A and B are shown apart, each in its own frame.
Chain A
């Protein structure tokens, strides 16, 4: 059985040992413990929202709209919006944990301060919290899939790959969300996140193709992570891959790395300077 000192000494010469103790899982364990005693209402809300959109738009509006052209094929409107809403569901899950929950632990409960007084490094905290956020994204994506499959909205078995894709984009959102949150000091600033998020999801092509926009707006929407996320999941859903798919993947790779970098840096400056 190793002592705390032996465990820390074993990493003393490793690259980046000041930033990462190789124990992000301890942070995930902490979240699991906290989950047992937490209230289920906010967790359920994040999942129910996209399902409500599916019902209202797919089965409500969808009756009026009928079919949509996508990638040269004509598909049912409800089938068209399902992957977009799956992506939204996963993003919602990731954002909830990486913004408001992180803000509370950073500023109210001073939890990260306590963690960083141990041999843990800021990258352990960042990776642990982000992993937890994308686990939530994963569970939302799976639940959404479990609802849409029996309704006949999933075109084929290959569409199951939309779940790992959803986790991947959740990683991007969680990483970036935590980075932004770590710079915010007040509730007013946090409120901005909500103001930005809702229109971003509504107008990023989850409910209709963005080709309906004028060119300048279409261009603007194509810069948004939500559009890349929705398109990535939709490409996989319908097995319609092209160069665009690769761009979507690269977009999230950059988002993940940038988010991790700034989160780690900020935690270090806040608690270890």
Chain B
């Protein structure tokens, strides 16, 4: 692994008796796109806030660009671009004014910011909205503006907390495309998500979090390889018959998961298994063979679905 930008050891955050983050270790390398995947309440946002030097850890160590956020909060924040889970754009200002004043918060010169704004408006595809008040923007535009705002200081690390939650599919794809371009320019991305497709699209490497702990770590492909099989056969027999059939199916492959509406069977060759099932005259009402995803990894690690 190349130079480590962020390094955490035994990182812990408690709120009273509640442990939000429980002794986690991780490293983020320069230029990498690092993801924290997990359900709501897993401790992802808390971890993000500690990295962003806006929350103080209870125990453990963390170093960001070689510095401790407790000693050098403002210096660390100067390196970061933060995109919070909920947009906190300045509703009283226009698109351009939002970018301008955010740059001023960093102490940047007006001349520098004015030049930067043109670049950012183009990046965020908001040139035509430059003089519009942000309250009049769509959800997708607001997100793009929040990302553009985070880039005004030319950060080394861009922190994105649930970047596409609440957006429609088209807006998500536009956003992913923008983030992909950023990644190509060498910006380190740290993001949280509870969407496995987003994690697969954007993350070079990720940790799966649950209840404040890291359950597994690796690239999306590695995780699937270690914690799941190549393919998954999904079969439905109707809610009544699922229970009856499950014990028979269990003997036909290494691992099955019974979900309320369907049964997942983990195998190397899904089609072959389906033929076997049909040969036994079990006749599922519907069937689907697909590649394993991070959702399957999460199910394996926690026994639960990501989105409940």
B191 CB to closest chain A CB, in angstroms? 16
> Do the beta carbons of B54 and A109 come within 8 Å of each other?
no
> Do the beta carbons of A271 and B54 come within 8 Å of each other?
yes
> Do the beta carbons of B111 and A8 come within 8 Å of each other?
no
Residues of B within 8 A of A7 (CB): 78, 106-108
Bound CA span A4–B86, Å: 24
> Do the beta carbons of A26 and B109 come within 8 Å of each other?
no
A40 CB to closest chain B CB, in angstroms? 14
- Chain A, residues 6-43, CB within 8 Å of chain B (1/0): the string is 01110110000110010100100110011001100000
> Do the beta carbons of B88 and A34 come within 8 Å of each other?
no
Residues of A70-128 whose CB lies within 8 A of B: 109-111, 113-121
Say yes or no: is A151 at the interface (Cβ < 8 Å to chain B). Answer: no
Residues of B221-246 whose CB lies within 8 A of A: none
> Do the beta carbons of A37 and B133 come within 8 Å of each other?
yes
> Do the beta carbons of A120 and B73 come within 8 Å of each other?
no
Say yes or no: is B75 at the interface (Cβ < 8 Å to chain A). Answer: yes
Residues of A within 8 A of B54 (CB): 116-117, 271-272
Residues of B within 8 A of A23 (CB): 104-105, 107
- Chain B, residues 87-109, CB within 8 Å of chain A (1/0): the string is 01111111001001110111111
Residues of B39-74 whose CB lies within 8 A of A: 52-56, 72-74
Say yes or no: is B84 at the interface (Cβ < 8 Å to chain A). Answer: yes
Residues of A within 8 A of B74 (CB): 8, 11-12, 17-18, 21, 119-121
Residues of A within 8 A of B109 (CB): 1-2
Q: Is the interface of B mostly helix, strand, loop or mixed?
A: loop
- Measured as residues with beta carbon below 8 angstroms from the partner, the interface class of chain A is 35 or more
Q: Is the interface of A mostly helix, strand, loop or mixed?
A: loop
Say yes or no: is B158 at the interface (Cβ < 8 Å to chain A). Answer: no
> Do the beta carbons of A272 and B56 come within 8 Å of each other?
yes
Residues of B within 8 A of A12 (CB): 72, 74-75
Residues of B within 8 A of A9 (CB): 75, 78
Bound CA span A52–B84, Å: 46
> Do the beta carbons of A38 and B78 come within 8 Å of each other?
no
- Measured as residues with beta carbon below 8 angstroms from the partner, the interface class of chain B is 35 or more
- Chain A, residues 235-269, CB within 8 Å of chain B (1/0): the string is 00000000000000000000000000000000000
B143 CB to closest chain A CB, in angstroms? 14
Residues of A within 8 A of B111 (CB): 1
Say yes or no: is B154 at the interface (Cβ < 8 Å to chain A). Answer: yes
Q: Identify the closest chain A residue to B94 (Cβ).
A: A37
Whether A109 touches B78, Cβ cut-off 8 Å, given contacts A3-B154, A4-B154, A23-B105, is no
Residues of A within 8 A of B84 (CB): 110, 113-114, 117
Q: Identify the closest chain B residue to A8 (Cβ).
A: B78
Contact of B77 among A8, A34, A38, A111 (CB under 8 A): A8
Bound CA span A161–B91, Å: 38
> Do the beta carbons of B104 and A272 come within 8 Å of each other?
no
> Do the beta carbons of B105 and A118 come within 8 Å of each other?
yes
Say yes or no: is B112 at the interface (Cβ < 8 Å to chain A). Answer: yes
B43 CB to closest chain A CB, in angstroms? 16
Bound CA span A26–B112, Å: 15
Bound CA span A121–B94, Å: 24
Residues of A within 8 A of B100 (CB): 33
Say yes or no: is A5 at the interface (Cβ < 8 Å to chain B). Answer: yes
Interchain Cβ contacts under 8 Å between A and B, 23 examples: A1-B111, A2-B108, A4-B154, A8-B77, A8-B78, A12-B74, A21-B107, A26-B101, A26-B104, A26-B107, A30-B104, A33-B93, A33-B97, A34-B92, A113-B84, A114-B89, A114-B102, A118-B102, A118-B153, A119-B74, A119-B78, A272-B73, A273-B55
